[in-house]
Structures are given as structure tokens and as C-alpha cells.
Amino acid sequence: MTNHWIDIKNSDCILIMGSNAAENHPISFKYVTEAQRNGAKVISVDPRFTRTSSKADIYVPMRSGTDIAFLGGMIKYILDNKLYNKEYVANYTNAPFIVGKEFKFSDGLFSGYEAKNRKYDKGTWTFDMDANGVPKLDRSLKDSRCVLNLLKQHYSRYNTKLVSKITGSPEAGLTEVYKTYAATGATGKAGTSMYAMGWTQHTVGVQNIRTMAIIQLLLGNMGVAGGGINALRGESNVQGSTDQCLLWHIWPGYLKTPRASNTSLAEYNKKWTPISKDPLSANWWQNYPKYSVSLLKSYFGENATKANDFGYDWMPKVDDGTDYSWLTLFDEMYKGNFKGFFAWGMNPACSGANSNKTRKAMENLEWMVNVNLFDNETGSFWKGPGKNPSTIKTEVFMLPACVSVEKEGSITNSGRWMQWRYMGPKPLGNSLSDGDIIMELGYKIKEVYKEGGAFPEPILNLKWDYMTDGLYDPHKVAKEINGYFQEDVTIKDKLYKKGTLVPSFAFLQADGSTSSANWLYCNSYTEKGNMSARRSKVDAANNIGLYPEFAWCWPVNRRIIYNRASVDLKGEPWDKKDWVIRFAGEAKDGKYVSSKWIGDVPDGGWYPLENPDGTKRTDSKHPFIMRKHGHAQIFGPGLADGPFPEHYEPLECPIEKNLMSKQRMSPVAPVYGTDADAHMTCDPRFPIVCTTYRVSEHWQSGLMTRPQPWLLELQPQVFVEMSEELAKLKGINNGERVDVSSARGALECTAIVTKRFKPFNIAGKTIHQVGVPWNFGWRWPESGTEESVNLLTPSTGDPNTRIPESKAFMVNVTKK
């Protein structure tokens, strides 16, 4: 989230799309309800009428996989009706930047497409630069090659009529949503978006979110209270695990995993440190080497020295041009390319796309270690449905982990709040905390490597000192994450002693004199104490629900990021009532003479861009400090699939032709080629669109909730929801068991025949859609009949993130 949960209450319009907040994030509805009672409009866009829709002021149905068409229509509406915040767009976004003449878009493809590799050469997705190397721009937004005008051109095709044909949403509904949401472009109004897996789990997942980000920028909704792009995380600590590098492509704090071609620390830092020639651009990532070196110092301690590149050579590198994402790992496992596997707090046999492939892949393993609270479909895959245990040689080890309430430590919620938690009951039986398991594992591996082995240095040199009295100590880890001074350092005439905690990331150094296991968390555990354990209920001066001394929030306790875009050029908030920050420095003769901000922690404490008399300041910075040029990106040249979001159909879709262009599906989405990767589009055997979701009553793959009788009582069986029209067509009665099948698998479900699904009219054709929750698996309930919907989902996904396309694929439904 750019904002945070409580902040939803400050919104004037809440677009809930790609998520089902009332059902899957029930507590969020406390704040949605509060906003609504204060007059906010709540909009629900979903293929199915949900518990969220039941509370919305406006509900509009939409076929799964057509979000970009839906939102692209909104961009057109905002531009056509000039409803954008011109001052914000012209000064804070890259709308005035001039795009190079080589950049083109034609019939679904951007310039630079290499069909053979399903990849773009992004060489033409660039801005024209002036003699000083600063982007040329036209703040009047008149230049025909400026980003805003290219945006206009790009979305000129997204008229409501065509959008309606693609999405199946009624035209009147589209216009109502566009009008209502675009009203937040008015100065002082804020609109927010609440999204989750309904946007991410697509071959166009990242671009779904980009489309909304563009809308938020046009309307001036980024950085303000009640605005932002708000990802509702599906697990209490997903934000934390991403921050600490759960994923293969990043190091902690969103540093890059080095590529094989980054052969030295200097080359690595050079590759990933952006350079801006604009004196008004803070270009915060220019500090990259300070963070990477501090991270290496944290990993290897005294063993990391300037002479050995701080141990950079010991860190694993990934081959250029390949990926190590979930889908690819299981693809490789399926092909027999690795021997062992740790399933740690995960249940891939149910939670990964294309479960038949995943489960078959596990048969190729020599060993698997399953670290979990309970045995699950993954640990027991060898005795699952259709498996013959006598032919599977995989040895499975179960390490019982204790549950979150049985251990101390922190979680970081969707709103980036790091919150300390204490141990309740002691771990049950022989179960251990993840920390204890991983510490012991580390010691054992070190012992083995002492006896020799290939490339022992990374293991032997790893600092591994997070135990106190033989137990894992979460405080030691939290302090390590914050970071220490490694020697006496004097900064701005103040001496910081070796071994003391670093006050914030502004103090981190690239010379090895500081350590920090995650620069973003530097400031969370300082000499003043554990900031995440704070519990003050006192609000900040602006009284908008920031509660700055309740827990701690990255970065540097800034509760709403990009907040310097919440003020105008002179530092005055757009919204006088629910303001986030406000410039409170002194002015003399029309010029600011001292710098002071009040409210939230500002995105940098520089002066505003203009003085009260309208003259420009040269000591200010553009507000989007994490961007190289200081401006938010309406034109986003960094992504794999194009600088502007474009509608493509999912890998499996119900129409032969993309009505927007010749390019049916994303030209760069990964397609896997094993015999388990069948996919069928416009195949009469699979004529029905299917999507997946969760229910309030179960959690994730259901491992923690299916064995819970009270929750199983509420939702005892996997079900397929369908319209009355489809049920009639198929002769299906409400409550009877039916088969749902795709090109990859089949699943028995209970039919819920409901008014909450309606057939779509897609380009004059009736298209049916159904939905199945993914919380089930054969291991529990005991009947073994309630299986995972991921038996049906395809192994394809987003070209940037490789999150699987579990939200739109094709199935058939038949009576048993």
C-alpha cells in the first residue's frame, strides 16, 4: 500500500476492483464503512456480485481478464472531459516529457518487438534529452510527442462502446463508474483503489495495476490522504516477506539480485545505480551502493572487507535472461532438473497453478523437507489422489513449525507497518519457530562445509550469530536488519560509536563502516529502542489517522508515501481538511527563508518547488524522489510489456480475436511447453470462463482452516458458482455435485446456482462465467473429495513477475 488501512476512511470514492475486500479483508471494511458513512461512494467491479458488491453504491460486472479495457476506458473519459488535475499532472508526473520519435505503437505491439524471443528491445522507449542530459519537457502539455498526448492517442481506441463489447459491462455502468471515480480529480477530493490477486494473477497483472496508477496520477490521487494504490496483502506478513526478499529477483529492500554479467561489486553497483543530471531530482536510488555494501557487511560481518569486495563474489548470481520464479522452478522440477526441495510454510500442491503438473514434478525429487504446522497435500503428495506410493521414491521429511502466536517477532502489514508481537503460549510438542529451525540448519550446514565441499566460502564466512542461550533471538535479527556502525564514524560533527545501531538509512555508508540487512528498515530498531513495539494511540497534528507512534512504518516512519505530491508547488496541501503534510517554514519578502514541514514525515525535507511569490527555487526537489527524474511515470519504460498498458486477452479466452488489436494475448507472457502445459482457447470443449477466489471462512490453501471444525461448518465443500441461465442450459440443480474441467485437469464441486453471476454479452455473443474458491485440498476434510481448483489453472503468468494467471481461464461444467 502507498497508504495504509486506516487511511481508507479518508477517501471520497473507493474503487474495489481485483479484490473482494469485504470477504477476504474483513477488517478493511471497518474503514470502508466509515468512509461510506461520511459520504464516500463505494464502487465494486467484479465478474460476480460478492459480499463487497452487496455493500457498494455502484456494482458493475466485468468479464475476468479485461481490467485494462475497463480502466483504459476510464483514462479516455478523464482525458476527453479534461477531468485531470492539470497542475499535478504537468509538474509531478512525466506527462510533459518528450518521447523519442522512434517509439511507436501499432496494432497491439510497441516498437522493438522480437517475435522469436517473445521479448521487447526497449531501446526506443526513451525520452528526448537536452544538452545537459535532462529530459526535455513541455509543461504546457502541448507538444504532440509529450507523454500526455501519446497517452491520449493510445487510449483514443478505448471508447465505451468497444470497452463494453470486450468486458461485457453495460455501457451505462461503465459511464457511471467513470463519472463517479473521475470526480475525485477535483482539488481536495481523493479516490482510492483496493486491489488484490484479482489484478495481479493475469498475464497482464502488472499492467492492470499500472493502468490504475495512471488514473491515480491523472486525478492527483497519489500521495494524498484517502488516495493511493493499495494492495491488500493476502497474508499478515506478505509485505514483510517481500521487503526481506522472499522472491528470487530481489535482495532485501528491493535491491537487485546480481546477474552473472555483474562480475564485480563495482559493476553491480554501476549497473543498478541510476544517474540523474537534473539538480532538482533527488534520485534517491543514487544511494544504492551504500545499501548494497551495508547489506554485504551484515551478511559477512568482519569477513567482508574492501579488499574482497565485501564478499560480493560469495553471493549467488542469476544467469542473464533467465528467471527463477515459482512457475519456472516447478517447470524445471517437472523436467527432473533438481533433486531436493524445501517447502517452507507453503503448500504448493494446492496453492501453485496447474497442480497436476506441480504434484507430478514432486515425484522427480529425491527428497523434500516440508516445514509446516500440519501435514499437508504437499508433504503427502505421494499418497494423494491418483498416485501410486510404491512408484514414488521421494523421501519426505516433516519439520513441525510452531504457529505465529507461539513466537516473538515482527510482521509487516499491507500498510508497511512493522508491528512487534510477543509470544503467547509456548510452542506445542516438538515444534520450533522458523527462526530456531533455520538457525540450526545453518549451523549444521556450516559444520558439513568445514569438512570441505564445493565453494565453501559463502557458507563459512556467513555471520550467523542470532542465538541467545541456545535459542533464536528475534531482537538480534531485528537489530541486524536495522544495522550497526561497524567502526567509529563521525557524521556532521557527531561521533557514532562502533557497535551502536544506525539511526536511519541516511547514515548508511558505502565504505563498509555500516551494516544494514535491509536499508528500508534502517530506523526501525535504534538506540532509542524497538520502534515497532510502540503502541501510542496519539494521532499526528493533521488528525487523519496516522498514529505515528503506533508501531513503525517504512520508510523512516512515513505513513503515506509520495506525500510531497499532496501539496502544491508552494507546499500548500491540495486538501485543506485531510492534509498529509504542509510547509510551515518562514517566509520573508515573498521567499521562504527556513524549511519546516508538519504532519507526516515528508518525502525529503527540501523546500517546496516555488516561493510564495511564485518564483522557482533551486534548492527544492521534485516530489517522486524514488524515480530517476523525480516525476511519477505515466509513461513507464521499465516494464517487460510496454510503457503504456494495453488490453490483451488471457492465454485462454472465449473470443477468437482481441477486439482492440491483432495481438490476441500478451506478446511477452511466458508460455511453458511440457506435456502438462496444455491450453485451449475458443475450444468448444471448454466454452466457459472460470475465475478463482477465496472465501471469508478459509485462509490461503486452507491448511490452517480446513482442519478447524467451526470454519469447515461454514464452508464445508469446494463449490462452483454459476448463473441460473448456465445451470438451466446444463440441466444443473442447485446444490448438486458437478464436474468442472479444463485442458489440464478436472475437479468435482458442489454447484451454487446464483443470481450473483450473470452471462456476459461479449461482442454480441453470450459468454458464461463461473468461479471456484481455491481454499480446498484432498488432505482435509477427511472425505478427500474436496480438491484444489489449481488442478484447473494454467502455468502462464505475468511477464514481469511470473505470478500465474489463475484468475481467467477456460473450463467446462458438466452434470455428474
Q: Which stretch binds other proteins (CB under 8 A): 156-164, 494-502, 644-652, 731-739?
A: 731-739
Nearer Cβ to other proteins, position 24 or 354?
A: 24
Q: With binding defined as CB under 8 A, does residue 33 bind other proteins?
A: yes
CB of 479 closer than 8 Å to CB of 459: no
Nearest distance, CB of residue 762 and other proteins, angstroms: 20
Nearest distance, CB of residue 689 and other proteins, angstroms: 20
Helix residue spans in 16-158 (DSSP H): 21-24, 28-37, 67-80, 86-92, 147-155
Nearest distance, CB of residue 779 and other proteins, angstroms: 18
Interface pick for other proteins out of 71, 217, 609, 751 (rule CB under 8 A): 751
Q: How far apart are CA 125 and CA 502, in angstroms?
A: 40
Longest CA–CA separation in the chain, Å: 87
Nearest distance, CB of residue 535 and other proteins, angstroms: 20
Cβ-Cβ contacts under 8 Å for 596 (sequence gap 6 or more): 583, 584, 585, 586
Nearest to 610 by CA among 280, 165, 305: 280
448 vs 398, 638, 742, CA distance in Å?
Answer: 21, 43, 47
Nearer Cβ to other proteins, position 253 or 545?
A: 545
Q: With binding defined as CB under 8 A, does residue 37 bind other proteins?
A: yes
Burial of residue 175 (CB within 10 Å: 0-12, 13-18, 19+) is middle
Nearest distance, CB of residue 407 and other proteins, angstroms: 23
Q: With binding defined as CB under 8 A, does residue 754 bind other proteins?
A: yes
* Torsion on CA atoms 13, 14, 17, 23, rounded to nearest 10: -150
Residue 609: Cβ within 10 Å count = 20
Nearer Cβ to other proteins, position 27 or 538?
A: 27
Nearer Cβ to other proteins, position 56 or 89?
A: 56
Nearer Cβ to other proteins, position 230 or 666?
A: 230
Q: With binding defined as CB under 8 A, does residue 750 bind other proteins?
A: yes
Interface pick for other proteins out of 55, 152, 387, 596 (rule CB under 8 A): 55
Interface pick for other proteins out of 247, 752, 763, 767 (rule CB under 8 A): 752
Q: Which stretch binds other proteins (CB under 8 A): 292-300, 461-469, 524-532, 727-735?
A: 727-735
- Residue span 2-31 as binding mask against other proteins, x where in contact by CB under 8 A, dash where not: --------------------xx--xx-xx-
Nearer Cβ to other proteins, position 33 or 500?
A: 33
The C-alpha cell of 440 is what? 540450526
Helix, strand, coil percentages for the chain (3-state, nearest 5): 30, 20, 50
The C-alpha cell of 407 is what? 513466537
Interface pick for other proteins out of 753, 762, 803, 810 (rule CB under 8 A): 753
Q: With binding defined as CB under 8 A, does residue 424 bind other proteins?
A: no
- Residue span 524-563 as binding mask against other proteins, x where in contact by CB under 8 A, dash where not: ----------------------------------------
The C-alpha cell of 766 is what? 453470450
Helix residue spans in 219-264 (DSSP H): 238-243
Residue 449: Cβ within 10 Å count = 17
Nearest distance, CB of residue 54 and other proteins, angstroms: 4
Q: How far apart are CA 42 and CA 798, in angstroms?
A: 29
Interface pick for other proteins out of 734, 765, 766, 815 (rule CB under 8 A): 734
Nearer Cβ to other proteins, position 506 or 714?
A: 714
Nearer Cβ to other proteins, position 169 or 515?
A: 169
Helix residue spans in 244-304 (DSSP H): 265-272, 288-300
Burial of residue 63 (CB within 10 Å: 0-12, 13-18, 19+) is buried
CB of 350 closer than 8 Å to CB of 705: no
Interface pick for other proteins out of 5, 49, 125, 780 (rule CB under 8 A): 49
Query: Omega of the bond prior to 687 within 30 degrees of 0, cis?
Result: no
Q: Which stretch binds other proteins (CB under 8 A): 78-86, 226-234, 441-449, 732-740?
A: 732-740
Nearer Cβ to other proteins, position 187 or 733?
A: 733
Q: How far apart are CA 796 and CA 667, in angstroms?
A: 12
DSSP character at residue 721: E
CB of 579 closer than 8 Å to CB of 573: yes
Return the residue matching grid coordinates 496520477: 217
Q: Which stretch binds other proteins (CB under 8 A): 348-356, 573-581, 728-736, 761-769?
A: 728-736
Write out the binding residues for other proteins, residues 355-374 only, by CB under 8 A: none
Q: How far apart are CA 680 and CA 703, in angstroms?
A: 31
* Bridge partners, residue 106, by sequence: 109
Q: With binding defined as CB under 8 A, does residue 177 bind other proteins?
A: no
Q: Which stretch binds other proteins (CB under 8 A): 242-250, 257-265, 487-495, 730-738?
A: 730-738
HEC string of 552-598 equals EECCCCCCCCCHHHHECCCCCECCCCCCCEEECCCEECCEECCCCEE
Residue 323: Cβ within 10 Å count = 16
Length, in residues, of the chain: 816
Write out the binding residues for other proteins, residues 685-724 only, by CB under 8 A: 695-697, 709-717, 719
Nearer Cβ to other proteins, position 565 or 813?
A: 813
Q: With binding defined as CB under 8 A, does residue 756 bind other proteins?
A: yes
Q: With binding defined as CB under 8 A, does residue 45 bind other proteins?
A: no
Nearest distance, CB of residue 196 and other proteins, angstroms: 16
Total residues at interface with other proteins (CB under 8 A)? 39
Q: With binding defined as CB under 8 A, does residue 731 bind other proteins?
A: no
Nearest distance, CB of residue 26 and other proteins, angstroms: 4
The C-alpha cell of 483 is what? 544495522
The helix (run of H) or strand (run of E) holding residue 417 is: strand 417-421
Q: With binding defined as CB under 8 A, does residue 735 bind other proteins?
A: yes
Nearest distance, CB of residue 711 and other proteins, angstroms: 7
Half-sphere exposure of 761 (CA within 13 A, CB side): 8
Tell me, what amino acid is at 496? Y
Nearest distance, CB of residue 193 and other proteins, angstroms: 19
Q: How far apart are CA 118 and CA 759, in angstroms?
A: 34
Q: Which stretch binds other proteins (CB under 8 A): 51-59, 114-122, 216-224, 330-338?
A: 51-59
Q: With binding defined as CB under 8 A, does residue 748 bind other proteins?
A: no
Pairing mode of beta strands 587-588, 367-372: unpaired
3-state secondary structure of 761: strand
Q: Which stretch binds other proteins (CB under 8 A): 125-133, 163-171, 283-291, 734-742?
A: 734-742
Nearer Cβ to other proteins, position 589 or 713?
A: 713
Q: Give the angle subtended at the CA of 259 by the CAs of 254 and 260, to the nearest 5°.
A: 160
Q: With binding defined as CB under 8 A, does residue 54 bind other proteins?
A: yes
Nearer Cβ to other proteins, position 58 or 304?
A: 58
Pairing mode of beta strands 119-120, 191-195: unpaired
Nearest distance, CB of residue 443 and other proteins, angstroms: 40
Nearest distance, CB of residue 372 and other proteins, angstroms: 23
Tell me, what amino acid is at 667? P
Q: Which stretch binds other proteins (CB under 8 A): 50-58, 69-77, 427-435, 458-466?
A: 50-58
- Please report, as ranges, the residues that interact with other proteins according to CB under 8 A: 22-23, 26-27, 29-30, 33, 37, 49, 51-55, 59, 695-697, 709-717, 719, 733-736, 750-756
